[in-house]
């Protein structure tokens, strides 16, 4: 549409008769230069920040990953890919990677399903603002403080959960000190934290579905709860769903604070996740080169996942 | 049989009454248009008929059976929405096939993968696809079955929406402003197609619009609604030439009917805007009446007679065959618009003084409440016409 109304600068340039064979006239060239200058001036600040805060650090981290530098050391030597070889040979890194994947695989579906169910319940009921607010609170709250509250709840002897379980005669557990329960429990806390975020986005998505589509579904005979959900609600939530999946998956990959506060990766390596490994290697053991290699691996995984998700889901949720 | 009867339908949202005791009968196979400005309750009436909304009081019957407690699915109606309401994630074929899938396949057979393995699913799905293809061919969209609505033009989407309604042969077609999202040219074309569709299918159509041209060209009868009330139900020609109510006369017709305020005098004459009309209405002298004259009922009067209006030309609009003349009436602050044949009024210039007169038979009188005051022979003619329509 725009191209029909506003002629492109190039068209304008060629339509001006040339006075000599040294390119377009001076005025046109000056105009084009001015346009380029404006474009750079507008994009410049964002580009500068992106380079300074993201792209340069990535290169710096990659450079450090090729050395044996230790934080604070005055010397370092170039070791090529030795750090990467060590990362992949390290059994504790593999455990950490497996834990992270398990954690993500629990948190993402859990958050999506529960967030959607709660959004649908709130949408169909009363007191929407109240329920929306209380479910959104965990997302707003400082996770550090919340983690301490969770620790109290999960305490093996005086914790509310175990007291409640034993009161009704169910077996109790030392939730954060048992290697079979620690990762699922951390995942539940992760779900609890992200639930409100997913729910608020789903609520906004539900609001944007045109009533006409539900009316059409009623007339076409898709008037039962499940039929309406599969015919209208879920397909129309597609773009929101894609966004929530990507954001929650990234947040789950970055899980760190609950692990640091509640378990420090223990017992053994049962709750060690990628970001915690990275932190411990870099800042506790001060093996900066090795930590940088872990960071690069982490970055590659996250970027790859995002790209795959975006490519696959984009095709299926935007109905053009 | 798919006649429709609305019996004293009432509907209100909170304190706002949207429909006030609306009663309307629609014959089997009739094309009925609900016409009115936005907010008059016409769409609500249609949605109540479809079962998408519940009335507060009154009964709706389709085919002489009350349908009040019945969900839309069970009412055997199909609806075309203003927004078309196509499912954007489904292809044209799936959109059109959905009503059939929902009715002919059970919940298990509709499951994504498992459903296909169940007995009967394959044969039914094939039948549905064949029927969809047939309907699509009839509408000229057979080549679009694999596309998604987002890839279609407005006119094509419109056809898909009609196809989705047609495919299961409903007893009643409901259309809620189906043409208002199309450009002017396409609207005229689709109008013709809807008319043809009605003639071909022969089922009852209920059509909601605010566009009087659509109502006039498509309908067997038009129901004019305003503020939740039904003002008049009659064939298009009668709605235009013989309105029951001042508001109907004002809503129908473009440019708008000229409305002048007059006073009844001796011998049934009416003094209005400097002219004295021979009205032959039986009102007592001194009664205030409104006088309605359609622009095309006015003609140039070379000799300023007692029944002609005199004024100076304010504006002339040329429309090829016709021209609209806006006249500031002498000594009045009202303006008269006349639609004159171009060849009969060749040289009219702004500021010129003109005399316009109307055929007395084409002048409409309304009382202070907006009700039509008919002359004796008009009342007789109107009741004869009504009897004929009922028969």
| In a domain? residue B248 | no
Distance CA B93, CA B106 (A): 19
Q: Which of B241, B264, B290 is the last residue of a domain?
A: B241
Chain B contacts of A221, Cβ < 8 Å? 73, 98-99, 102-103
Instruction: For residue range B326-364, list pLDDT tens digits in order.
Output: 999 877 778 899 998 888 766 788 888 888 888 888 899
Do both B59 and B190 map to the same domain? Answer: yes
What's the confidence (pLDDT) of residue B244?
92
Chain B contacts of A226, Cβ < 8 Å? 107
What's the confidence (pLDDT) of residue A320?
57
| Percent of chain B whose predicted confidence (pLDDT) is above 70 | 98
Taking the mean position of all CA atoms in its chain, how far away is CA B45? 14
Position of tokens 């070889």?
A: A85
Instruction: For residue range A179-225, list pLDDT tens digits in order.
Output: 888 889 999 989 988 888 899 899 999 999 999 999 999 999 888 88
Q: Which of B171, B206, B241 is the last residue of a domain?
A: B241
| In a domain? residue B207 | yes
CATH of the domain at B202: 3.40.50.300
| Percent of chain B whose predicted confidence (pLDDT) is above 90 | 50
| In a domain? residue B35 | yes
A314–B contact, CB cutoff 8 A: no
* Res A14 pLDDT > 50: no
Closest Cα in chain B, distance from residue A226 (Å): 10
What's the confidence (pLDDT) of residue A82?
85
Chain B contacts of A314, Cβ < 8 Å? none
Going by pLDDT thresholds of 50, 70 and 90, the confidence category of residue A319 is: low
Closest Cα partner for B214 from B387, B48, B42? B42
Taking the mean position of all CA atoms in its chain, how far away is CA B353? 38
Q: Where are the domains of chain A?
A: 82-317
Q: What's the half-sphere exposure (Cβ side, CA atoms, 13 Å) at B76?
A: 16
CB contact under 8 A, B73 and A218: yes
| In a domain? residue B170 | yes
Position of tokens 């009964």?
A: B59
Chain B contacts in chain A segment 222-261 (CB below 8 A): 222-224, 226-227, 231-232, 235-236, 238
* Res B7 pLDDT > 90: yes
Do both B207 and B70 map to the same domain? Answer: yes
Taking the mean position of all CA atoms in its chain, how far away is CA A39? 31
Superfamily of domain A82-317: MetI-like (1.10.3720.10)
Instruction: For residue range B43-63, list pLDDT tens digits in order.
Output: 999 999 999 999 999 999 999
pTM of the entire predicted model:
0.78
Long-range (24+ apart) CB contacts under 8 A made by A283-288 are A283/A71, A286/A70, A286/A71, A286/A72, A287/A70, A288/A64, A288/A69, A288/A70, A288/A71
Contact by Cβ (8 Å): B84, A213: no
Smallest Cβ distance to B88: which of A221, A224, A319?
A319
Beta bridge partners, B34, equal B208, B223
Structural domains in chain B (count): 2
* Res A72 pLDDT > 60: yes
Distance CA A249, CA A135 (A): 19
Nearest Cα residue in chain B from A232: B87
Instruction: For residue range A261-317, list pLDDT tens digits in order.
Output: 888 877 888 888 888 988 988 888 888 888 899 999 999 988 888 888 778 777 766
Tell me the residue range of the domain where B90 lies.
4-241
The DSSP symbol for A67 reads B
Contact by Cβ (8 Å): B294, B321: no
| In a domain? residue B30 | yes
B78–A contact, CB cutoff 8 A: yes
Number of residues assigned to chain A = 320
Do both B236 and B260 map to the same domain? Answer: no
B106–A contact, CB cutoff 8 A: no
Smallest Cβ distance to A212: which of B51, B81, B149?
B81
Do both B220 and B184 map to the same domain? Answer: yes
Mean pLDDT of B162-187: 90
What's the confidence (pLDDT) of residue A246?
86
Do both B48 and B114 map to the same domain? Answer: yes
Do both B231 and B157 map to the same domain? Answer: yes
Do both B237 and B259 map to the same domain? Answer: no
| In a domain? residue B247 | no
Do both B204 and B274 map to the same domain? Answer: no
Provide φ and ψ at B366, rounded to 5°: -130, 145
What's the confidence (pLDDT) of residue A222?
85
* Res B279 pLDDT > 50: yes
* Res A127 pLDDT > 80: no
* Res B232 pLDDT > 90: yes
Contact by Cβ (8 Å): B32, B174: no
**Which has more confidence, B218 or B106?**
B218
Nearest Cα residue in chain A from B86: A213
The encoded tokens of residue A142 equal 């400082």
Q: Which of B241, B274, B295 is the last residue of a domain?
A: B241
Instruction: For residue range A130-187, list pLDDT tens digits in order.
Output: 887 887 887 777 777 888 888 888 888 888 888 888 888 887 777 778 888 888 999 9
Mean pLDDT of B184-194: 89
B169–A contact, CB cutoff 8 A: no
Do both B167 and B310 map to the same domain? Answer: no
Do both B307 and B230 map to the same domain? Answer: no
The encoded tokens of residue A84 equal 């990467």
Do both B52 and B193 map to the same domain? Answer: yes
The interface predicted TM-score (ipTM) is 0.82
| In a domain? residue B250 | no
Contacts of A12 (CB under 8 A, 6+ apart): A28
Going by pLDDT thresholds of 50, 70 and 90, the confidence category of residue B210 is: very high
Distance CA A195, CA A112 (A): 8
Contacts of A114 (CB under 8 A, 6+ apart): A191, A195, A198
CATH of the domain at B351: 2.40.50.140
Closest Cα in chain A, distance from residue B129 (Å): 16
Contact by Cβ (8 Å): B226, B36: yes
Do both B22 and B143 map to the same domain? Answer: yes
Distance CA B29, CA B58 (A): 23
Distance CA A40, CA B9 (A): 65
For chain A, how are helix, strand and coil distributed in percent, rounded to 5? Answer: 75, 0, 25
């Amino acid at each position: 549409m725009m191209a029909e109304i506003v002629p492109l600068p190039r068209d304008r340039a060629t339509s001006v008769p040339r006075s000599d064979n040294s390119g377009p006239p001076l005025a046109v060239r000056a105009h084009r230069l001015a346009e380029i200058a404006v474009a750079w001036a507008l994009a410049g600040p964002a580009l500068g920040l992106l380079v300074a805060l993201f792209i340069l650090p990535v290169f710096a981290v990659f450079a450090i990953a090729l050395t044996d530098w230790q934080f604070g050391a005055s010397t370092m030597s170039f070791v090529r890919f030795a750090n990467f070889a060590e990362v992949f040979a390290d059994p504790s890194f593999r455990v950490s990677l497996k834990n992270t994947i398990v954690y993500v695989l629990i948190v993402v579906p859990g958050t999506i399903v529960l967030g959607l169910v709660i959004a649908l319940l709130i949408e169909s009921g009363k007191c929407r603002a109240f329920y929306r607010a209380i479910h959104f609170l965990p997302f707003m709250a400082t996770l550090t403080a919340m983690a301490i509250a969770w620790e109290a709840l999960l305490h093996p002897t005086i914790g509310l959960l175990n007291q409640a379980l034993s009161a009704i005669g169910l077996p109790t557990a030392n939730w954060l000190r048992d290697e079979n329960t620690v990762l699922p429990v951390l995942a539940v806390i992760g779900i609890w934290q992200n639930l409100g975020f997913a729910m608020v986005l789903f609520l906004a998505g539900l609001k944007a579905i045109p009533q006409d589509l539900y009316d059409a579904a009623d007339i076409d005979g898709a008037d039962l709860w499940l039929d309406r959900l599969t015919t209208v609600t879920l397909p129309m939530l597609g773009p929101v769903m894609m966004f929530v999946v990507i954001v929650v998956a990234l947040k789950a990959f970055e899980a760190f604070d609950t692990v640091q506060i509640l378990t420090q990766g223990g017992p053994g390596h049962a709750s060690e996740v990628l970001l915690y490994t990275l932190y411990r290697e870099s800042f506790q053991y001060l093996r900066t080169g090795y930590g940088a290699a872990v960071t690069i691996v982490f970055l590659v995984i996250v970027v790859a996942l995002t790209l795959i998700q975006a490519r696959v889901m984009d095709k299926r949720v935007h109905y053009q | 049989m798919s006649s429709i009867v609305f019996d004293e339908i009432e509907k209100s949202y909170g304190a706002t009454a949207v429909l006030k005791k609306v009663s309307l009968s629609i014959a089997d196979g009739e094309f009925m248009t609900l016409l009115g400005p936005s907010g008059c309750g016409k769409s609500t009436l249609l949605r109540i008929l479809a079962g998408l909304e519940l009335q507060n009081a009154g009964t709706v019957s389709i085919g002489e059976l009350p349908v009040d407690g019945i969900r839309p699915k069970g009412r055997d109606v199909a609806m075309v929405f203003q927004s078309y309401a196509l499912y954007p994630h489904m292809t044209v074929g799936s959109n059109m096939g959905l009503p059939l899938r929902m009715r002919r396949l059970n919940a298990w057979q509709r499951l994504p993968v498992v459903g296909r393995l169940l007995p009967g699913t394959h044969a039914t799905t094939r039948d549905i696809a064949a029927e969809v293809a047939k309907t699509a061919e009839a509408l000229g969209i057979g080549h679009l079955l694999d596309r998604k609505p987002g890839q279609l033009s407005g006119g094509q989407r419109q056809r898909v929406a009609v196809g989705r309604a047609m495919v299961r042969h409903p007893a009643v077609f409901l259309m809620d402003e189906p043409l208002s999202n199309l450009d002017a040219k396409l609207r005229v074309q689709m109008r013709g197609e809807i008319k043809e569709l009605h003639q071909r299918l022969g089922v009852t159509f209920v059509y909601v619009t605010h566009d009087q041209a659509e109502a006039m060209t498509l309908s067997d009868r038009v129901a004019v609604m305003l503020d939740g009330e039904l003002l008049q139900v009659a064939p298009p020609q009668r709605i235009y030439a013989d309105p029951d109510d001042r508001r109907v006369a004002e809503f129908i017709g473009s440019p708008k009917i000229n409305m002048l305020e007059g006073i009844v005098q001796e011998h049934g004459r009416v003094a209005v805007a400097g002219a004295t009309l021979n009205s032959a209405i039986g009102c007592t002298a001194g009664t205030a009446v409104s006088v309605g004259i359609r622009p095309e009922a006015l003609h140039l009067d070379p000799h300023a007679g007692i029944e002609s209006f005199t004024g100076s030309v304010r504006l002339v609009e040329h429309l090829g065959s016709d021209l609209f003349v806006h006249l500031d009436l002498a000594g009045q602050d009202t303006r008269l618009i006349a639609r004159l044949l171009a060849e009969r009024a060749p040289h009219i210039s702004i500021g010129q003084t003109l005399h316009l007169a109307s055929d007395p038979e084409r002048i409409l009188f309304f009382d202070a409440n907006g009700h039509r005051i008919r002359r004796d022979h008009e009342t007789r003619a109107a009741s004869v016409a009504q009897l004929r329509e009922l028969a």
